[in-house]
Amino acid sequence: MARHAAGSPAALSHLCRDGVIVVKVGGDVDSAPVLDEVTELVAAGRPTVLVHGGGIAADELADQLGVAREVITSPDGTRSRRTTPAMLTVLTLALLGRVKPELLSGLRARGVRGVGLCGADGALITASRKPVIRSVRDGRTVLIRDDRSGRIEHIDPTLVRLVLEHDVVPVVSPPVSDAEGNLLNADADGVAAGLAEALDASALVLLTRVCGVLADLDEPSSRLREVGPHHLAGDLVRGRMRHKVRAALRASRTVGRVAIGGGNHHRPIRHALSGGGTWVCEGSVA
């Protein structure tokens, strides 16, 4: 991929079909360069969906409010937030009341209209509560039954499409909702991947603190140019990155180009799509 291909919004067509781009920005990423690039994409007429998490903001707020937080490790080594009912309340506050309005303000400051949505808006994302979660603690597997995490069952992108048709950027995040209206936590990478599938997007980019999937977490130069299903089989991909890769792999079945890349970068979206991050593909990258 030629370096100049990443230089302008029009050049994006070389990287992926003209269609919807779904960008997930992690809480550990400086949002300014992402919002700058989203602004360019919208100006170029490219429909763009912004998805966000808010783990760091939620952790801060949990500490301020005295709500205990815990990370659980599943038997396959995936690490997740333990979502007690109190933590779900904190997450909802942080995602909808802090992170999302900051992103909307940032878009507005750049002359872009955004609309904040969560899974509970317009029946956008329906999930079912995971009845039991397995966690490995001190080498033993324990069962957690009161967790408020959801498995995404259905995505109805009607509302997102409607917003996109009016040149407005949907700014989407957890929580999601079950069919009875109960809020549930969901992984933001999974939300982004699911939305990309439901929208038949041409690209999905997961932006994070590191520059892609690293073979050695402490060594940026160990970035893998591409990952596939076999990378999940071993323990090369660890911790929270497993969520991203798993979600990205699933989306890659239908989404033209899927990449995990560094957010703290000039034009991070095109940088990741043009090979500056890690491409994720069930087969081989076209």
Q: Is 155 in the site for a second copy (CB under 8 A)?
A: no
Applying CB under 8 A, the span of 120-128, 221-229, 242-250, 276-284 interacting with a second copy comes to: 120-128
Applying CB under 8 A, the span of 5-13, 154-162, 213-221, 237-245 interacting with a second copy comes to: 154-162
Applying CB under 8 A, the span of 8-16, 68-76, 97-105, 245-253 interacting with a second copy comes to: 97-105
Q: How many of the chain's residues bind a second copy (CB under 8 A)?
A: 43
In the complex, the smallest distance separating the C-beta of residue 274 from a second copy, rounded to whole angstroms, is 30
Q: Is 150 in the site for a second copy (CB under 8 A)?
A: no
In the complex, the smallest distance separating the C-beta of residue 134 from a second copy, rounded to whole angstroms, is 28
For a second copy, give the closer residue by CB, 163 or 237: 163
**Residue type for position 71:** V
Q: Is 10 in the site for a second copy (CB under 8 A)?
A: no
For a second copy, give the closer residue by CB, 75 or 181: 181
Q: Is 108 in the site for a second copy (CB under 8 A)?
A: yes
Site for a second copy in 49-78 (CB under 8 A): 61, 64-65
Q: Is 123 in the site for a second copy (CB under 8 A)?
A: yes
Q: Is 158 in the site for a second copy (CB under 8 A)?
A: yes
What sign results for the dihedral spanned by CA atoms 47, 51, 221, 279?
negative
For a second copy, give the closer residue by CB, 171 or 206: 171
In the complex, the smallest distance separating the C-beta of residue 206 from a second copy, rounded to whole angstroms, is 24
Question: DSSP labels for the chain?
Answer: --GGGGSSTTTHHHHS-SS-EEEEE-TTS-HHHHHHHHHHHHHTT--EEEEE--HHHHHHHHHHHT----EEE-TTS-EEE---HHHHHHHHHHIIIIIHHHHHHHHHHTT--EEEEETTGGG-EEEEE-S-EEEEETTEEEEE-S--BEEEEEE-THHHHHHHHTT-EEEEE--EE-TTS-EEB--HHHHHHHHHHHTT-SEEEEEESSSS-BSSTT-GGGB-SEE-THHHHSSSS-TTHHHHHHHHHHHTTTSSEEEEEESSSSSHHHHIIIIISEEE-SS---
Question: Mutual orientation of helices 85-94 and 55-65 as an angle, nearest 10°?
Answer: 120
Q: Is 100 in the site for a second copy (CB under 8 A)?
A: yes
Burial of 266 (0-12, 13-18, 19+ CB in 10 A): exposed
In the complex, the smallest distance separating the C-beta of residue 77 from a second copy, rounded to whole angstroms, is 32
For a second copy, give the closer residue by CB, 90 or 251: 90
Q: Is 164 in the site for a second copy (CB under 8 A)?
A: no
Q: Is 230 in the site for a second copy (CB under 8 A)?
A: no
Query: Residue 264, Cα to own-chain centre: how many angstroms?
Result: 15
List the x/- string, 166-205, binding to a second copy by CB under 8 A. x-x------x-x-xxxxx----------------------
Tokens of 217: 């977490």
User: Residues in the site for a second copy, rule: CB under 8 A?
Assistant: 61, 64-65, 89, 92-98, 100-101, 104-110, 113-118, 120-123, 158-159, 162-163, 166, 168, 175, 177, 179-183
